[in-house]
């Protein structure tokens, strides 16, 4: 994993601003620790720590984040049953920091301008306890689909996903309490997991990248409501993409300022106020840099910006482009009678009481699925791809609970649940059929069931009764684990 000569040559430009350059290079030549956070909506961090102990998975608690873990002896957590059950999500430690600092409140309206692959979006939605609204935007369709898939696995009802150029979102939507601008960058800080990013970097490329970053941050200022906050972050060391971008926007607007950041348990350094002959705004030292050798992480830059109620000194004309409408999700609220019909069906089959589900807004998306959402309506944009949590498929002959719906509804179910053993768990995760023991099927009705392990819902199964030559095979459970979950990578 040794750095190439071209990478070493390029990184040399940072020697003057790094306290221990040799330690910095040494850290870049070591693997990045595997980190994850537990899902507060499904399990407490202490209970998750107990689960890891029971599974003989060695870990360290991340000191600055209550539900963050460094995994020390397990490198395939993406295939672990706790991940599939939505009890945790894998994310590099320092990437967990922006949502932690931005700290959206319970009922905030939040915009993630460059959301994919989604870890920060998911963190914010969970921190908000499935309340408020999180609009997750990205320009790449496949990446936003991956984000939505994770949101389904984790049971999130307050996320709406959208595909658009971040700098072209209409500034008329200027009502967001919190905005995350984790912008595209040269990604130098990710070299411990992606060594190739250092191979073809140039200062000119960073300067070109900075133009796009300025456009995105400018739009964030326009979209943020007075008194709201914006977090600007990158995973690069380049001052051209960090301090220089902030400096340009601070000169453009007089109604924003940078708030000091203090994170107990994490070593940071102040952002630069001077670089290669250029002086930056005096507030720049309130922003922070995170160097890999200080915390055994990747590299990051973060600035927390407060917007006041003053008007900008040099407002820019809104150059929003028309939003693409080639990808569009049609959403209609269910009528009270339609909602009652589905609630009755869930109660009849799984013994789920209606009351916990009546707090959500029930949507029919493209006549394909019934989704639960924390918000009654979504922004009037033509490129919304998904809203809320799809719990029931409606495109087949009969409505069926989705796999994500099983994870969400399982804790509420009072019947037709099958708890599997450790031996059976391996079979279930391979999407094969399990022969059930007598004590497992009891009063279970044939058909769809919720499958649990150690009391946590894993997903769906199909319970069958049939006469075989062997009584041990009379009662079978077919795994309905989605193929994409069974083959999940821990990357």
Tell me the per-residue pLDDT of 418-449, one tens digit each, with 9 for 90 and over.
999 999 999 999 999 999 999 999 899 999 99
Query: Which whole number is the average pLDDT over 244-269?
Result: 97
Binding site annotation covers 182? yes
Binding site annotation covers 117? yes
Mark whether 235 is an active-site residue. yes
Q: How far is CA 295 from CA 52, 63, 96, 101, 147, in A?
A: 23, 11, 13, 17, 27
Closest CA to 369 of 336, 324, 326, 403: 403
315: pLDDT strictly greater than 90? no
**Predicted confidence band at 171 (pLDDT cuts at 50, 70, 90)?**
confident
User: How far apart are the C-alpha atoms of 296 and 260, rounded to whole Å?
Assistant: 23
Binding site annotation covers 138? yes
Element (H, E) at 125: helix 119-127
The angle formed by the CA atoms of residues 40, 45 and 49, to the nearest 5 degrees, is 140
**Predicted confidence band at 325 (pLDDT cuts at 50, 70, 90)?**
very low
Query: Which whole number is the average pLDDT over 131-137?
Result: 96
User: How far apart are the C-alpha atoms of 425 and 419, rounded to whole Å?
Assistant: 10
* Structure tokens given for 40: 């507060």
Which three-class secondary structure state does DSSP give residue 290?
Answer: strand
**Predicted confidence band at 491 (pLDDT cuts at 50, 70, 90)?**
very low
pLDDT tens digits for 2-53?
889 999 999 999 999 999 999 999 999 999 999 999 999 999 999 999 999 9
pLDDT tens digits for 326-382?
344 557 899 999 999 999 999 999 999 999 999 999 999 877 899 999 986 666 666
Q: Which residues, 6 or more positions from 110, have their beta carbon under 8 angstroms from its beta carbon?
A: 104, 124, 128, 132, 133, 134, 135, 176, 177, 178, 179, 180
Question: What is residue 466's predicted lDDT score, i.e. its pLDDT?
Answer: 79
Binding site annotation covers 115? yes
Q: Which residues, 6 or more positions from 86, have their beta carbon under 8 angstroms from its beta carbon?
A: 39, 42, 153, 154, 155, 407
Positive or negative: CA dihedral 178, 184, 189, 194 = positive
Q: What percent of the chain has pLDDT over 90?
A: 81
Question: What is residue 380's predicted lDDT score, i.e. its pLDDT?
Answer: 63
Question: What is residue 324's predicted lDDT score, i.e. its pLDDT?
Answer: 41
Q: Which residues, 6 or more positions from 462, have their beta carbon under 8 angstroms from its beta carbon?
A: 447, 448, 449, 477, 478, 480
pLDDT tens digits for 68-117?
999 998 778 999 999 999 999 999 999 999 999 999 999 999 999 999 99
- pTM comes to 0.93
Catalytic residue among 88, 187, 224, 235: 235
Do β-strands 369-373 and 389-393 pair in parallel, antiparallel, or remain unpaired?
antiparallel
Question: What is residue 214's predicted lDDT score, i.e. its pLDDT?
Answer: 98
Binding site annotation covers 151? no
Do β-strands 475-479 and 384-387 pair in parallel, antiparallel, or remain unpaired?
unpaired
Q: Which residues, 6 or more positions from 103, have their beta carbon under 8 angstroms from its beta carbon?
A: 127, 178
Binding site annotation covers 486? no
Binding site annotation covers 118? yes
Question: What is residue 176's predicted lDDT score, i.e. its pLDDT?
Answer: 97
135: pLDDT strictly greater than 50? yes
**Predicted confidence band at 310 (pLDDT cuts at 50, 70, 90)?**
low
Average pLDDT score over the chain:
92
């Amino acid at each position: 994993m040794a750095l190439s000569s071209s990478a070493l040559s390029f990184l040399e430009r940072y020697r003057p601003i790094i306290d221990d350059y040799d330690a910095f290079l040494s850290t870049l030549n070591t693997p990045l620790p595997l980190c994850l956070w537990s899902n507060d909506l499904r399990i407490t961090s202490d209970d998750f720590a107990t689960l890891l102990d029971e599974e003989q998975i060695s870990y360290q608690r991340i000191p600055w984040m209550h539900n963050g873990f460094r995994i020390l002896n397990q490198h395939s957590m993406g295939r672990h049953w706790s991940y599939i059950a939505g009890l945790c999500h894998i994310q590099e430690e320092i990437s967990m920091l922006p949502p932690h600092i931005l700290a959206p409140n319970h009922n905030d309206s939040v915009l993630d301008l460059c959301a994919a692959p989604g870890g920060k979006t998911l963190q914010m939605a969970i921190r908000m306890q499935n309340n408020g609204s999180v609009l997750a935007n990205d320009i790449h369709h496949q990446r936003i689909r991956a984000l939505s898939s994770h949101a389904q696995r984790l049971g999130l009802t307050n996320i709406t996903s959208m595909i658009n150029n971040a700098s072209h979102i209409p500034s008329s939507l200027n009502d967001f309490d919190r905005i995350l601008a984790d912008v595209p960058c040269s990604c130098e800080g990710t070299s411990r997991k992606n060594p190739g990013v250092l191979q073809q970097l140039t200062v000119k490329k960073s300067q070109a990248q900075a133009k796009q970053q300025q456009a995105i941050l400018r739009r964030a200022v326009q979209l943020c409501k007075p008194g709201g906050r914006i977090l600007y972050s990158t995973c690069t060391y380049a001052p051209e993409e960090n301090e220089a971008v902030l400096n340009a926007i601070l000169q453009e607007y007089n109604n924003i300022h940078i708030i000091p950041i203090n994170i107990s348990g994490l070593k940071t350094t102040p952002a630069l106020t001077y670089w290669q002959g250029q002086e930056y705004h005096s507030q720049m030292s309130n922003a922070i840099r995170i160097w890999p050798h200080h915390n055994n992480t990747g590299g990051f830059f973060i600035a927390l910006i407060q917007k006041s109620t003053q008007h900008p000194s040099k407002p820019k004309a809104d150059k929003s482009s028309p939003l693409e409408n080639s990808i569009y999700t049609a959403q209609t609220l269910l009528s009270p009678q339609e909602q009652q019909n589905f609630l009755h069906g869930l109660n009849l089959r799984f013994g789920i009481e209606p009351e916990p589900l009546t707090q959500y807004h029930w949507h029919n998306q493209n006549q394909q699925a019934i989704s639960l959402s924390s918000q009654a309506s979504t922004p009037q944009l033509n490129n919304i791809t998904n809203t809320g949590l799809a719990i029931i498929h409606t495109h087949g002959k009969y409505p069926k609970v989705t796999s994500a719906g099983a994870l969400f509804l399982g804790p509420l179910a009072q019947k037709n649940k099958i708890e599997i053993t450790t031996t059976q768990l391996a079979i279930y995760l391979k999407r094969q059929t399990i022969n059930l023991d007598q004590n497992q099927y009891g009063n279970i009705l044939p058909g769809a069931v919720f499958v649990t392990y150690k009391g946590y819902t894993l997903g769906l199964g199909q319970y069958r009764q049939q006469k075989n030559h062997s009584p041990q095979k009379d009662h079978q459970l077919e795994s309905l684990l989605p193929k994409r979950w069974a083959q999940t990578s821990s990357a």
